[in-house]
A and B are shown apart, each in its own frame.
Chain A
Amino acid sequence: MRAARGPVLAAAFLFAAGAAPAAEVPLPERRSGYDFMGPQTRGMQDDDMANPGMLSVLDGAAAWERKTGAAGKACADCHRDARQSMKGVAARYPRFDEATGRPIDLEGRIARCRTERQQAPPLARESRELVALAVYVAHQSRGLPVEDMVEKDARLRPFLEAGRSQFERRQGQLDLSCAQCHNDNWGKSLAGNPVPQGHPTGYPIYRLEWQSVGSLQRRLRNCLIGMRAESYEFGAPEYVDLTLYLMWRARGMKIETPGVRP
């Protein structure tokens, strides 16, 4: 359960070497990682009483109501009932951020409210509280389709292209690209595990291997390490561009948060 995945991924080389340049998965053929899971894991995600991600939703709901920081304010003091104010929000991230002139992801946006609006010490990426808040906010969009943010805001276009080129570029000691697995070889088996298409619709997820919830960036880091490629600091612009591309690639698909994944 807790073992590293590295050596397993080396097997990928066998099917990926020499593959032709990747074509994107046609829109009607897109499938969530959920569809590739076994019936037990799907059952776990479907049942809110058995989905361990729901514990993180409860944690996030408690944090939403908690006053903190020099401003002495809770998220709820400004945003009121998350079920209304946060509905659909996760389906519209990453968004263009005026302050930095580049896209910001949902965790980044929450972290900013924490430091600027609550005037509280920053929450580390992947900290239990930030992930719980992100799970709670994203859960309010469960069942809603991912929006095409690039169509709505052309300023995102260059960052989408940066994310796309990261996805298609061969990298790491195994000389693999994300696209070789997730566009060209999805549905095939990698050391007994099905290769999904790599959609970000369930995030943050509860991952059985992690025995905890974790963000999309943590998942991306796992794939980069599996490719023996360089991974980035959590929160790095490279991850946000990649997230923007993955969300665009998943436009129209439904948010599942909290997803459960093996």
Chain B
Amino acid sequence: MTAQALIHVPKKAKRGEVIEIRTMISHVMETGFRRSQSGEPIPRNIIANFACTYNGVEIFRAELFPAMTANPFLIFRTVAVESGTLAFKWTGDNGFAAEQSVKIEVG
């Protein structure tokens, strides 16, 4: 199944306003330190990178590690400068890649 994501960005904001962005994506975030019931090591499978761009300009980036919970939930802030698109990208082990984007209207 494709990874589902919950993204919260205000639909409208005033120019210069600080806005809060919240993202959560479904992912097991398997640490690589656990073993299966039969004793086999379970390979690491995590999201390693997250980035957010605002009209093509990167405004936030995070590197994630095995200690992060399943379904990483990130909250960050930015200044609403102009109308346009916020794009989110998650990448990780086993070629994991997910992208989503949200429009914002700034007046």
* Distance between Cα atoms of A212 and B28 in the complex (Å): 8
| Nearest A residue to B30, CB-CB | A211
Decide if A220 is an interface residue (CB 8 Å cutoff): no
Is B2 on the interface with A (CB-CB < 8 A)? yes
What separation, in Å, do the CA atoms of A54 and B5 have in the docked complex? 9
Taking CB atoms, residues of chain B closer than 8 Å to A56 are 26
A-facing residues in B45-75 (Cβ within 8 Å): 69-71, 73
CB distance B4 to A59 under 8 Å? yes
Closest Cβ–Cβ distance, residue B3 to chain A (whole Å): 9
Choose one: A2, A62, A128; the contact of B2 (CB below 8 Å).
A62
Question: Chain B: interface secondary structure?
Answer: loop
CA A63 – CA B69 in complex, angstroms?
Answer: 25
With A55-B26, A211-B28 given, is the CB distance from A50 to B1 under 8 Å?
no
Taking the complex as formed, is A4 at the interface, i.e. its CB lies under 8 A from any CB of chain B?
Answer: no
Residues of B near A132 (CB, < 8 A) are 1
Check if B8 is an interface residue, CB within 8 A of chain A: yes
Interface residues of B (CB under 8 A from A): 1-2, 4-6, 8, 22, 24-26, 28-29, 34, 69-71, 73
Beyond the given A55-B25, A211-B29, please list 16 additional residue pairs across the A-B interface where CB-CB is below 8 A. A1-B69, A48-B6, A49-B6, A49-B24, A52-B70, A54-B6, A55-B5, A58-B4, A58-B6, A59-B4, A59-B26, A62-B1, A62-B2, A63-B1, A132-B1, A212-B70
| 30 contacts across the A-B interface (CB closer than 8 A) | A48-B6, A49-B6, A49-B22, A49-B24, A50-B22, A50-B73, A52-B26, A52-B70, A52-B71, A54-B6, A55-B4, A55-B6, A55-B24, A55-B25, A55-B26, A55-B71, A56-B26, A58-B4, A58-B6, A59-B1, A59-B26, A62-B1, A62-B2, A63-B1, A132-B1, A211-B28, A211-B29, A211-B69, A211-B71, A212-B70
List residues of A whose CB falls within 8 A of some B CB: 1-2, 48-50, 52, 54-56, 58-59, 62-63, 128-129, 132, 211-212
